[in-house]
Structure 1
Amino acid sequence: MHDVEPAPAVMDQLVGLPVADVERDLILATLRETGGNRTHAAQLLGIAIRTLRNKINLYATEGYEIPEPPQGSVA
């Protein structure tokens, strides 16, 4: 279990938001942080790469900008 607790100001911003929106924003932020590296993002998020790819496809169809994977890697 992680002992990290978000700052109260962050928690206040999240209260009342739909879980799906928070999840999407976290996934997209993690992809940006990893330079689009799906494998690394999935590891950081603690989800299967297949789950991440499915969510990325959903977000793309909804019109969200998806960070591109690094050159030479498989998306």
Structure 2
Amino acid sequence: MNESYKDLKAYLLNEIAEDAQDMLNAIGDKDVDEIDDEEVLCFCHSIATTMTTLETVAMVGTLVPWFLESNGCEDK
């Protein structure tokens, strides 16, 4: 696996984990009325965006080697 791919994947997973932890901290043991909806939604949006990016990176990481190999572009 390419080091750049692994680094990008690790970065994205770390971002998801950090945002998830921040979201949990924003909710905490608060009553529903005390929770800042906009703050929680911001973390949710960030998680969703990062997850979409991770999914795209994973798909490209899977498809590009297959595409290059199928077109005779593999290292010989």
Task: Note whether the superposition's TM-score is higher than 0.5.
Answer: no
Which has the bigger relative contact order, CA under 8 A and spacing at least 6? Answer: 2
Structure in which a larger fraction of residues adopt helix: 2
TM-score range, shorter chain: 0.3 to 0.5
Structure label with greater radius of gyration: 2
TM-score by length of 2: 0.32
